[in-house]
Chain A
Amino acid sequence: MKIRENVMKYVFFLAALVSVAAVLLICIFLFANGVPAMAKIGVFDFLLGKEWKPSDIPPLFGILPMILGSVYVTAGALILGVPIGLLTAVYMSRYCPKKIYGFLRMAVDLLAGIPSVVYGFFGIIILVPFVRNTFGGNGISILTACILLGIMILPTIISVSESAINAVSSNYYEGALALGATKESSIFKVVLPAAKSGILAGVVLGIGRAIGETMAVLMVVGNQARMPKGILQGVRTLTTNIVAEMGYAADLHREALIATGVVLFVFVLIINVIFSIIKNGGKNR
């Protein structure tokens, strides 16, 4: 019996090691291939260069436009997605009748399960003409990508914020009501501030999803490798830079794309660190 338990313990341990090993291997692969390329191009020329012309002689590998593109698209997605997501979470947690709740929950879960390519098709067929006819331009733009990503990050924000709001002790809410506050002000002035760290964590996870999204963005954002020019003009993000050119890239061009991956990886790492700081901060209080 004892031996069997011990054996199983090691089996579980090995299973746990697989994910750690995967992360380590990815890190090693990325840095081993990406960092030398960055050194070859010149770190500043790479990170702050404004021109990406890999087929030219001499080639130019500047990814500043893509870094800015990723930041703009993600910021836009948050501006559209966070208010809607947060209000949905408040509604689901505090206002929603039981009958509607089940339906709403199902819709949100379904939204999370839709493959990103399908979002991309939705974007190309519905959103692009909508933006073109409503706001002008050719429809393939930062704005379109922001709307699409805003929808895509909703499930993350809604789920995490809702559980954060539900986790706030009912004493807070009832206490506020007992002091004569209305339902609205109890929720928005007492419950939400108490759930702040959980909601922030949801937003940070949403940022992670938005910045890493590739297929859907690729189809609606235009992928022009130049500095962002306006909300109705296209742009290229870090992820779309990699996926659009990987298929045909060779030599230094390929390595430069892997180095783009390193930059993206560092971004995601920073986001995860912020996420765990926020989460722990919430616990300690």
Chain B
Amino acid sequence: MKKTVMGLIGLMICAGMITGCVGNDKNFDPKKGITVISREDGSGTRGAFSDLFELVVKTDDTQTDTTTLEAIIANKTGVVISDVVSDMYAIGYVSIGSLNESVKAVKINGVEAVGENVKNGTYEVSRPFNIAMNEKISDETQDFINYILSADGQAVVEESGYIQINSDTVRYEPTGASGKVVVSGSSSVSPLMEKLAEAYMGLNSGVSVEIQTSDSSTGMQNVMDGSCDIGMASRDLKESESSLKAMPIALDGIAIVVNTKNPLDNLTKEQVRNIFNGSIIKWSELN
């Protein structure tokens, strides 16, 4: 009796695995529904995305985010990518700096999502990365900020796949400042900040830069209560954070990503908007 039961369970597991595998190998069927993946409300990436694709409908005193309620909400860039990898019919959006081989970035209005196109303005889907600090800052903090905005710092921005905010800045001159600078905030900005800090410490060994990765709100909070010197935000500052001084350090493009099995390689801005507001629900409706 026991053996029969065990045998049956074993068979069922095998059958499940086989159907599972067959399911994964199926070809792309455009008649299937689109799995829309968005980010959580308040996320810098989502804010920028909804603004750029006019998903936020504004009148004089109201503002409504029309992103479809059916959209799956992923709370990290990495989760968006793994959701898109595992679901053939998914579409999502991530920072160009976080793109990798496992997903496919589609062209928008025929323009490829690469840093160059963001810089020359043909790829329109971009947002600024901000840093914020208190009015009074230490010499070493000021020195680090000078470095970020200098030609050298902006070259690091460019090398990391992001876009310079300002291309005709002066070169950085080491001033011999010394001390410690604590930077805290958005996980979207921190990969870039790490590269900047590394390059800066190579030029100026007297200063050590410590980076704490959390999120935009925590970063701003930390600057305000003095537990860090510079905050990183991938969004604009909120009203309650207006005591801080903010400045952009780089531009980041947002790429629309689909599964690698998806034959699609171009979308118009209008189509993206209609997919994310729920007016287009099947891939076949795009043609």
Q: Is the CB of A248 within 8 A of B42?
A: yes
CB < 8 Å neighbour of B23 from A53, A58, A132: A132
Least CB distance from B20 to A in Å reads 5
Q: Does B265 contact A (CB under 8 A)?
A: no
Q: Is the CB of B75 within 8 A of A224?
A: no
Known interface pairs A249-B42, A253-B42. Does A53 touch B70 (Cβ–Cβ under 8 Å)?
no
Q: Using Cβ atoms and an 8 Å threshold, which residues of chain A touch B175?
A: none
Q: Does B82 contact A (CB under 8 A)?
A: yes
Q: Interface residues, chain B, CB within 8 Å of chain A?
A: 16, 19-20, 23-24, 33, 35, 40-44, 47, 56, 61-65, 69-75, 79, 82-83, 86-87, 89-90, 214-218, 220, 235, 238-241
Q: Does A266 contact B (CB under 8 A)?
A: no
Q: Using Cβ atoms and an 8 Å threshold, which residues of chain A touch B218?
A: 247
Q: Does A129 contact B (CB under 8 A)?
A: yes
Q: Is the CB of B83 within 8 A of A248?
A: no
Q: Using Cβ atoms and an 8 Å threshold, which residues of chain A touch B82?
A: 124
The answer for the CA separation of A219 and B82 in the assembled complex, in Å, is 10
Q: Using Cβ atoms and an 8 Å threshold, which residues of chain A touch B71?
A: 224
The answer for the CA separation of A247 and B43 in the assembled complex, in Å, is 8
Question: Using a CB-CB cutoff of 8 Å, which residues 232-283 of chain A contact chain B?
Answer: 233-234, 236, 243-251, 253-254
Q: Is the CB of B240 within 8 A of A251?
A: yes
Q: Does A172 contact B (CB under 8 A)?
A: no
Q: Is the CB of A251 within 8 A of B75?
A: no
Top 10 closest pairs, chain A to chain B, by CB: A247-B215, A248-B42, A133-B23, A223-B73, A226-B69, A57-B63, A244-B75, A250-B238, A222-B72, A138-B35
Q: Using Cβ atoms and an 8 Å threshold, which residues of chain A touch B239?
A: 251
Nearest residue, chain B, Cβ from A128: B86
Q: Using Cβ atoms and an 8 Å threshold, which residues of chain A touch B63?
A: 55-57
The answer for the CA separation of A56 and B121 in the assembled complex, in Å, is 29
Q: Is the CB of A130 within 8 A of B217?
A: no
Q: Using Cβ atoms and an 8 Å threshold, which residues of chain B touch A125?
A: 86
Q: Is the CB of A140 within 8 A of B16?
A: no
Q: Is the CB of A247 within 8 A of B216?
A: yes
Q: Does A217 contact B (CB under 8 A)?
A: no
Nearest residue, chain A, Cβ from B74: A223
Beyond known contacts A138-B89, A236-B73: 9 more, CB 8 A cutoff: A55-B42, A56-B65, A140-B87, A223-B75, A245-B40, A248-B217, A250-B217, A250-B241, A254-B217
Q: Is the CB of B214 within 8 A of A53?
A: no
Q: Is the CB of B215 within 8 A of A244?
A: no
Q: Using Cβ atoms and an 8 Å threshold, which residues of chain B touch A248?
A: 40-44, 215-217, 235
Q: Is the CB of A134 within 8 A of B16?
A: yes
Q: Is the CB of A225 within 8 A of B215?
A: no
Q: Is the CB of B62 within 8 A of A56?
A: yes
Least CB distance from A52 to B in Å reads 8
Q: Is the CB of B42 within 8 A of A139?
A: no
The answer for the CA separation of A233 and B44 in the assembled complex, in Å, is 26
Q: Does A54 contact B (CB under 8 A)?
A: yes
Least CB distance from B158 to A in Å reads 27
Q: Using Cβ atoms and an 8 Å threshold, which residues of chain A touch B40?
A: 223, 244-245, 247-248
The answer for the CA separation of A125 and B41 in the assembled complex, in Å, is 25
The answer for the CA separation of A51 and B43 in the assembled complex, in Å, is 18
The answer for the CA separation of A247 and B238 in the assembled complex, in Å, is 14
Q: Does A86 contact B (CB under 8 A)?
A: no
26 A-B residue pairs with CB within 8 Å:
A55-B56, A124-B82, A124-B86, A129-B20, A129-B23, A133-B19, A133-B20, A134-B16, A138-B35, A139-B86, A139-B87, A140-B83, A222-B72, A222-B73, A224-B70, A225-B41, A234-B72, A236-B73, A244-B40, A244-B73, A248-B42, A248-B215, A248-B217, A248-B235, A249-B42, A251-B239
Least CB distance from B221 to A in Å reads 9
CB < 8 Å neighbour of B87 from A138, A226, A254: A138
Least CB distance from A130 to B in Å reads 6
